[in-house]
Structure 1
C-alpha cells in the first residue's frame, strides 16, 4: 500500500499536494482538538493528571506501533519517506485527540 501511495504521489505535483494537504489538515485538526479538550478539563489536579496520563499513554502506544510499521513497511527506495513519517505522526496525534475527546465525554457527561 505504501508503494502504491508513493507512486501516486510521484505521478504529479497535484497528487503530492493533496496528500500533504490532507495530512496537514489531520495534524492541525488533531492538535486543535487536543488543545480545546485540554482547556475544557480545567486546571491541573489529581483528576486531570490521570486523564492526561491516559491520553499520553494511548499516544505513546500508537507511536510505538507506527514507528514499527514505518520501519517495516517503508523501503529505502521510497522517494517521499518524510511525508510517510509525518503521516504516521499525524495518526498518533489523531489517536490522542480521539482519546481525549472520548475521555472528556465520559468524565463530563
Structure 2
C-alpha cells in the first residue's frame, strides 16, 4: 500500500500536495481535540496525570507499531520517506485524540 501511495505521489505535484494537506488537517484537528479535551479534564493532579499518561502511552505504542511496520515492510528506494513519517506522526496524534475522547466519555458521562 505504501508503494502505491508513493507512486501516486510521484505522478504529479497535485497528488503530493493532497497528501501534505491531509497530513496538516490530521495534525491540526488532532491537536485541537487533544488540547480541548485536556482542558476539559481539569487542572493537573493525580487523577489527570494518570489520564494524560494513559493517552501518551497509547500514542507511544502506536508510534512504535507504525514505525516498526513501516521500516520492516518498505523498500529502501522509496522517494517520499519523510512525508510518510510525518503522515504517520499525524496518525499517532489522531489515535491519541480518539483515545482521549473515549476516556473523556467514559469518565465524565
Q: Which digits, 9 at most, give the CA deviation of each residue in 1:61-80, with x for residues without a partner?
A: 10110110121122211110
Aligned counterpart, 2:25: 25
Cα distance in 1 for partners of 2:11, 2:49 equals 47
Deviation at 1:38, TM superposition (A): 0.4
Over aligned residues, Cα RMSD in angstroms?
Answer: 0.8
Q: Does the 8 Å CA contact 1:63/1:92 hold for their aligned counterparts? A: yes
Aligned counterpart, 1:75: 75
Cα distance in 2 for partners of 1:3, 1:25 equals 23
Map 1:1-109; keep pairs closer than 5 Å.
Answer: 1-109=1-109
| TM-score of the two chains, using structure 2 as the length reference | 0.96
Cα distance in 2 for partners of 1:19, 1:60 equals 23
Structure 2's unaligned 5+ residue stretches are none
Q: Across the two proteins, how many residue pairs are aligned to each other?
A: 109
| TM-score of the two chains, using structure 1 as the length reference | 0.96
Q: Does the 8 Å CA contact 1:74/1:81 hold for their aligned counterparts? A: no
Hey, which bits of structure 1, 4+ residues long, moved more than 2 A? none
